[in-house]
Structure formats: structure tokens, C-alpha cells
Amino acid sequence: MRAYIFRSLLQSLIVLNGVLLIVFLMLHLTGDPAGVLMPVDATEEDLARFRRDMGFDQPLHVQYVYFLFGHGERNRGVLRGDFGFSYRHEVPAMGLVVEHIPATVYLAVIALLVALAIAIPAGILSAVFRNTWIDHLASVVSMFGQSLPNFWMGLMLIIVFAVYLRWLPTSGYEGPEHVVLPALTAGLYATARIMRMMRSTLLEVMGLDFVRTARAKGLGESAVIGRHALKNAAIPVVTLVGLELGLLLSGTVVTEVVFAWPGVGFLTVDAIVNQDYPVVQAAVTLLAMMYIGVNLTVDVTYAWLDPRISYR
């Protein structure tokens, strides 16, 4: 188990290093980093001094080391959370991104809870009543959930529930009613995936020998499913739920833009539009760290639930 956790942690660190390398190259793809980071009216002397202070006059591999560990007083390195200052807001970029994390986490958690509340019962009913109208309806819903774009679904929900019915607000972050439409939009794809996984794994388990033995002993169908089948079908679903949480934490950009939700995704798009590169770098790094952290937790949890995984 310890060896498995060590391997998973090592793989996560390798992925994180790859993300940091991409974030580092992001700034250099624009040309001269000094020309991007310094004000438009900066003189050649100012640019030369800035390149020397930040290490931009060094070879690329040396610059990457400076990017990670810092160089001089003006650059403490991203491993210490220093991505520079936001051009637009004139505050530390990482601090600005951290301020928007609670909104993103709140939306992701509510969206996942909505997805679970719909997907788990629907997946169980679809498996129990296989090839009935319930199964067909659940299949159609899951197909649409995986096919419809998030931005289109968000706009449709706004038109129906905010414009025509006037039941819910279109944007904002003031009260619980503001999270309903964004959570439904963000959780749609997760609902479809979890529903399909719940159905397929439960059907597979219900065909195994120990389930048939339980039926042969005279146990009722509800007892067979509740006591035996569901517990064994839960492991893949738990894994998928963890992955969906990671996707929701790092992939609600479209939903946040549609509903003007003040999360990290909305901040990132705003920073891209305004060419606020330090904020973009900090946001991409932090979202990647959140996703990697969730994946690592899922791997360890999966190995704990099924010890056979750690020996493969």
C-alpha cells in the first residue's frame, strides 16, 4: 500500500512539473517576456535592467530554474507562490486567484451533489428495471446530458427559469438561489456519466455468482440489491465521482462565464482577454494542482476500498 501511494505521489509530481513547464513556456510564446511584463512606455534601459533582475537574459533552462526557485528580490519563484503582480488589479496574482477559489469550490460541490442526487437513483432504477420504459428514459437523458454543450444548456435554463418564469436570478453570488442554475448546468455532464456507470456496474454485479446464490437462498430482490450488489458496484462509481469532482473544480470555466459566477474560471477568462499573464499562470497552476490532488486522493481511496489495486 505504501509503495502504491509513493508511486501515485511520484506520478502526480511529474504531472505537476509538466504543468509548470507549460505555464513557464506560456509567457515565452508571446515573444520577449520583458516586453510583455513591463509597461508600454518602458525604455530600453528599463527593459535591460528588468531582464537582468528577472533572469530573462539567461538560457531557457536556467530561466526555468529561476521560475521555479526564484532569482533575486523581485522573483521568489512559483514554488513559493510568487507569480508576480496582476497588471489590471495591481495585487499579487496568486492572492487574487485564491480569493476566487471559494466560489469555484462552492459551485463544484453543489453541482456534484445535484448530479449524485439524480444519477445514483436513476442508475439503480435503470439497472433494476432493465429494458423497460424507465431504462429507456434514463438512457435518453444520459445521452442528452453527454451531448448537449454546457453553454447552450446554461442559456436555455436562463431563458426558461430567469426570463420567462422569473423564478431564479441570471447571475450573481449573493444567495443560495444564485447557485441553482449554474449547478444544474455544471452538473449535467457529470449526471450523465455517473448514471451510466451506476447502471453498467450494477448490471455486471447482478450477473455474478454470489448474487444468484443470494437469490437462490430466498432473499428478496431489494435485500439482494441493497446488501450485496450495491456495495460491490460502488467502487467504480466512487472513483468516477472523485474524477468528476476534479473536472468540476477545474472545468467550470464555461459555466462561470455564462452566469458571471465570480470563480477562478471567470477570473481566468477575464485575465486572458486583458492579457493579464501572471493571473493566467497562477490560475492554470492552481486549477491543475486541485485536479491532481483530487486524482491522487481518488487513487489512494480506490486502493483502500479494493486492496488488489495496490498490488497490480
> What angle, rounded to 10 degrees, do the helices at 101-128 and 180-206 form?
40
Asked if residue 72 has pLDDT above 80, the reply is: no
- The third-level CATH classification (topology) of the domain covering 99-206+236-311 is MetI-like fold (1.10.3720)
Does the pTM of the predicted model rise above 0.85?
A: no
Percent of the chain at pLDDT above 70?
87
- Per-residue pLDDT averaged across 218-224, rounded? 68
pLDDT(286) > 80: yes
57 pLDDT above the threshold of 60:
yes
pLDDT band at 31 (very low <50, low <70, confident <90, very high): low
Report the pLDDT averaged over residues 24-36: 70
Residue 33 in this model has a pLDDT that exceeds 70: no
Whether the pLDDT of residue 138 is over 80: the answer is yes
What pLDDT, on a 0 to 100 scale, did the predictor assign at position 61?
80
Considering only CA atoms, which of 150, 158, 149, 107 is closest in space to residue 263? 107
Judge whether residue 288 has pLDDT over 70. Answer: yes
- Above 70 in pLDDT, residue 102? yes
pLDDT averaged over every residue in the chain: 80
Where on the phi/psi map is residue 71: left (φ > 0), alpha (ψ -120 to 50), or beta?
A: beta
Q: If DSSP codes are grouped into helix, strand and coil, which group holds residue 198?
A: helix
**CA 81 – CA 96 distance, rounded (Å):** 12
Task: List the chain domain ranges.
Answer: 2-82, 99-206+236-311
Q: How confident is the model at residue 279 (pLDDT cuts 50, 70, 90)?
A: confident
**How far apart are alpha carbons 27 and 13 in whole angstroms?**
22
The pLDDT value given to residue 117:
92
198/124 Cα distance (integer angstroms): 7
List Cα–Cα distances, 288 to 94, 234, 241, in angstroms. Answer: 14, 27, 18
